[in-house]
Homo-oligomer: A and B are copies of this chain.
Amino acid sequence: MANKVKNDAITSRDENFAQWYTDVCRKAELMDYSSVKGFIIYRPYGYALWEMIQAYMDKKFKETGHENVYMPMLIPESLLQKEADHVEGFAPECAVVTRGGLDELEEKLVIRPTSETLFCEHYAKIVNSYRDLPKLYNQWCSVVRWEKTTRPFLRGSEFLWQEGHTIHATADEAREETMRMLDIYETTARELLAIPMVTGKKTEREKFAGAEETYTIEALMHDGKALQSGTSHYFGDGFAKAFDMKFLDKDNQLKYVHQTSWGVSTRLLGAIIMVHGDDNGLVLPPRVAPTQVMIIPIQQQKEGILDKAYELQNQLQAQGIRVKVDASDKSPGWKFSEAEMRGIPLRLEIGPRDLQNGQCVVAKRVNGEKLTLALDETLPEKLATLLDEVHDEMYQKALKFRDEHITDVETYEEFKEVLDSKGGYVKMAWCGDEACEVKIKEDTAATSRCIDTQAHVDGVCPICGKKAKHIVYFARAY
A150-182 vs B, Cβ < 8 Å mask (1 yes, 0 no): 000000011010000000000000000000000
Asked whether A417 is an interface residue with its Cβ less than 8 Å from the other chain, the reply is no
CA A42 – CA B51 in complex, angstroms? 21
The residues of B that contact A42 with a CB separation of less than 8 Å are: 69-71
A220-237 vs B, Cβ < 8 Å mask (1 yes, 0 no): 000000000000000000
CA A354 – CA B69 in complex, angstroms? 38
The residues of B that contact A433 with a CB separation of less than 8 Å are: none
Asked whether A109 is an interface residue with its Cβ less than 8 Å from the other chain, the reply is yes
A12-43 vs B, Cβ < 8 Å mask (1 yes, 0 no): 00000000000000000000101110011111
CA A50 – CA B67 in complex, angstroms? 13
The residues of B that contact A75 with a CB separation of less than 8 Å are: 36
Asked if residues B97 and A111 are in contact (CB atoms below 8 Å), the reply is: yes
Asked whether A96 is an interface residue with its Cβ less than 8 Å from the other chain, the reply is yes
Q: Which stretch of A87-95, A301-309, A357-365, A375-383 is in the interface?
A: A87-95
Asked whether A463 is an interface residue with its Cβ less than 8 Å from the other chain, the reply is no
Asked if residues B74 and A36 are in contact (CB atoms below 8 Å), the reply is: yes
Contact of A41 among B32, B69, B74, B95 (CB under 8 A): B69
- Chain B nearest Cβ from A440, distance in angstroms: 27
Asked if residues A101 and B111 are in contact (CB atoms below 8 Å), the reply is: no
- Chain B nearest Cβ from A235, distance in angstroms: 20
Contact of A67 among B44, B73, B99 (CB under 8 A): B44
CA A99 – CA B98 in complex, angstroms? 8
Asked whether A457 is an interface residue with its Cβ less than 8 Å from the other chain, the reply is no
- A34-B121, A36-B76, A71-B34 known; A94-B98 Cβ under 8 A: no
Asked whether A411 is an interface residue with its Cβ less than 8 Å from the other chain, the reply is no
CA A41 – CA B126 in complex, angstroms? 12
Asked whether A374 is an interface residue with its Cβ less than 8 Å from the other chain, the reply is no
The residues of B that contact A40 with a CB separation of less than 8 Å are: 72
- A79-B35, A121-B34, A122-B32 known; A51-B68 Cβ under 8 A: yes
The residues of B that contact A95 with a CB separation of less than 8 Å are: 74, 97, 99-101, 109
A71-119: which have CB < 8 Å to B? 71-76, 79, 92-102, 108-109, 111, 118
Asked whether A144 is an interface residue with its Cβ less than 8 Å from the other chain, the reply is yes
- A48-B68, A95-B99, A101-B94 known; A142-B35 Cβ under 8 A: no
The residues of B that contact A68 with a CB separation of less than 8 Å are: 44, 47-48, 51
Asked whether A137 is an interface residue with its Cβ less than 8 Å from the other chain, the reply is yes
Asked if residues B101 and A92 are in contact (CB atoms below 8 Å), the reply is: yes
- Chain B nearest Cβ from A288, distance in angstroms: 16
The residues of B that contact A473 with a CB separation of less than 8 Å are: none
Asked whether A205 is an interface residue with its Cβ less than 8 Å from the other chain, the reply is no
CA A368 – CA B380 in complex, angstroms? 50
CA A148 – CA B103 in complex, angstroms? 11
Asked whether A185 is an interface residue with its Cβ less than 8 Å from the other chain, the reply is no
Asked if residues A34 and B97 are in contact (CB atoms below 8 Å), the reply is: no
- Report which A residues bind B (CB closer than 8 A): 32, 34-36, 39-44, 47-48, 50-51, 67-76, 79, 92-102, 108-109, 111, 118, 121-122, 125-126, 137, 141-142, 144, 146, 148, 157-158, 160
